[in-house]
Amino acid sequence: MSVKREDVLKDENLITNIEEVAKDTALLHGVLMRTKETPNSPEVASYAPFTLFPTPVPTVLFHQALAVQTHFNRLVDRVSQNPGFLEETLASTIKVDNFTARLFNIYKQVQHEHHPQSIVLGLNRSDYMLDHSPDGGTSLKQIEINTIAASFGGLASRTPDVHRHILKVANLPEECNNVLDNNPAAGLARGLAKAWELYGSERAVVMFLVEDVQRNIYDHRYVENELWKRNIPVIRRQFEDVCRTGSLDESKRLFVDGREVAIVYFRNGYMPQNYTSEKSWEARLMMERSLAVKCPDISTHLSGTKKVQQELARRGVLERFFPDEPETVAQIRATFAGLYTLDMGEEGDKTVAMALANPDRYVLKPQREGGGNNIYGSEICEVLENLKNSTERTAYILMDKIQPVPVQNYLLRSGAPLRLNSCLSELGVFGAYVRKGKDMVFNECVGSTQLRGVNKKEGDKTVAMALANPDRYVLKPQREGGGEYH
Ligand code: ADP
Ligand code: MG
């Protein structure tokens, strides 16, 4: 007879027995990460952090997230094509945020040049939390959309089989049937392959632009190998390699190490510290100027900033991007949490007052990616008291704090003891699109992943953890009150 998940979670003997099976299964299925000690060596690998069991997501909300993804793809693309909107939106931010200003500077430089390339490739991940309101309802709320270097599409393609096996061994066979197949790696590769074909040179390579520390390399490899299967050559290079060996020919074709590059796929370049010298910025500009398809190009990168997200949530703005599509607007808007400007002026002053009065209701976010930057609770007051009369406050936006219900689960991390944790989970949905000139020739939702934070009290520490835990979910019918999350 099979048992219930709650009972299994409490059965220490069973959990101890499953632990080894779970780790071995993750290794067997390739849910892998290199070790902290030897991040650049393929000699030693371990399992990537994952949860013992998948996370239930109500069917209705799951399908809502998948269904809205192609609209988000089009929205990001349309924002990227609207210089007036980008300029106006980022005007206050770039005065105080040096990183965004440098990106914007590249954007401005290339905007006035002839664009050699009309092919645009977007691979993004829209992240959500399930917000639990006091009246018991649960709704899907977007945390952010990542338009550059969105990760875990590879590893998430392998976790369904791992979880199915664990659920069987844990005597939870019914749950097994609820774990859906998922293959974002193949979908992301389809987008890359489409753009590569349109570029139209068999010899030209897809270049993954990667960091110098490569712990998460296996996540990339799944996408890489999908490309190789299609006989599309892939190289992996760092900013430094592009600085040293990169050049443009008279037609602005990009060459790195003597290879023509059809696509630059950025898995790096989203944080200030990724640009270790002026040369890295020069390399970014050179790639941007080139005929290579950039994933993302600089305007698509800027379209994923938190300031843009905040402006899109303003009344009437989505309508400007989808003037004849009220349904699309409604679908996108339904996923927005409250977002508030901190620009100088009356509206921004109101935001400051609101945050100071109820700091626990909000998250204060700078224009940064990669986790660990957000500000919560009393720290919001400290920061805003200091900055409230200064333009420095415009480096941030304020967002309603989403309140997901923590789910009990065991977290497996290499080298750490197994512990029952109170986990907050995020659903990440992958989108891929290709546009050639005015035509969207490819626009798909290509899968999803569960990202997990541990223990909400740790505030933003949840982030690093969140991004390190791809898993899959079990679908459950949505019940009133959403009590199944406890
Ligand atoms: P980053 O670009 O650094 O990933 P995010 O906007 O994704 O920035 O925020 C990082 C983390 O902070 C998220 O993964 C989530 O755990 C938490 N977080 C962000 N926004 C909210 C919010 N509005 N409510 C609750 N938690 C949030
Ligand atoms: Mg994030």
pLDDT tens, residue by residue, 77-104: 999 999 999 999 999 999 999 999 999 9
Fold topology of 338-401: Dna Ligase; domain 1 (3.30.1490)
Between 143 and 483, the more confident residue is 143
pLDDT of amino acid 221: 98
pLDDT of amino acid 460: 38
Tell me: pLDDT of 118 over 70: yes
Cis peptide before 296 (omega within 30 of 0): yes
Ligand 1 pocket, mutate which of 143, 375, 423, 462 (most atoms under 8 A from CB):
143
pLDDT of amino acid 112: 84
Tell me: pLDDT of 464 over 50: no
The strand pair at 119-132 and 439-454 is best described as: unpaired
Tell me: pLDDT of 228 over 60: yes
Quote the percentage of the chain above a pLDDT of 90: 83
In this prediction, residues 247-257 reach a mean pLDDT of: 97
pLDDT of amino acid 452: 67
Tell me: pLDDT of 467 over 90: no
pLDDT of amino acid 453: 59
| Segments making up each domain of the chain, as ranges | 5-334+409-471, 338-401
Tell me: pLDDT of 465 over 50: no
pLDDT class of 457 with cuts at 50, 70, 90: very low
Say if residue 149 carries a ligand binding annotation.
yes
Tell me: pLDDT of 235 over 90: yes
In this prediction, residues 421-438 reach a mean pLDDT of: 93
Q: pLDDT tens, 322-373?
A: 999 999 999 999 999 999 999 999 999 999 999 999 999 999 999 998 888 9
Q: How far is CA 5 from CA 15, 181, 409, 469, in A?
A: 11, 21, 10, 20
**Alpha carbon distance 198, 121 (integer Å):** 11
pLDDT class of 134 with cuts at 50, 70, 90: confident
Say if residue 26 carries a ligand binding annotation.
no
Q: How far is CA 257 from CA 204, 241, 248, 434, in A?
A: 12, 8, 12, 27
Contact yes or no for 275/281 (Cβ under 8 A):
yes
In this prediction, residues 309-313 reach a mean pLDDT of: 98
**Alpha carbon distance 194, 229 (integer Å):** 14
Confirm or reject: Cβ of 466 under 6 Å from ligand 1: yes
Tell me: pLDDT of 155 over 60: yes
pLDDT of amino acid 454: 54
pLDDT class of 481 with cuts at 50, 70, 90: very low
pLDDT class of 116 with cuts at 50, 70, 90: confident
In this prediction, residues 230-255 reach a mean pLDDT of: 98
Q: What is the DSSP letter of 215?
A: T
* Mean confidence (pLDDT) of the chain: 91
pLDDT of amino acid 468: 35
Confirm or reject: Cβ of 401 under 6 Å from ligand 1: yes
Tell me: pLDDT of 16 over 90: yes
Tell me: pLDDT of 485 over 50: no
Nearest CA to ligand 1 atom 13: 463
Say if residue 365 carries a ligand binding annotation.
yes
Q: pLDDT tens, 192-207?
A: 999 999 999 999 999 9
Confirm or reject: Cβ of 463 under 6 Å from ligand 1: yes
CA of 143 to the centre of ligand 1 (A): 6
CA of 244 to the centre of ligand 2 (A): 32
**Alpha carbon distance 33, 4 (integer Å):** 31
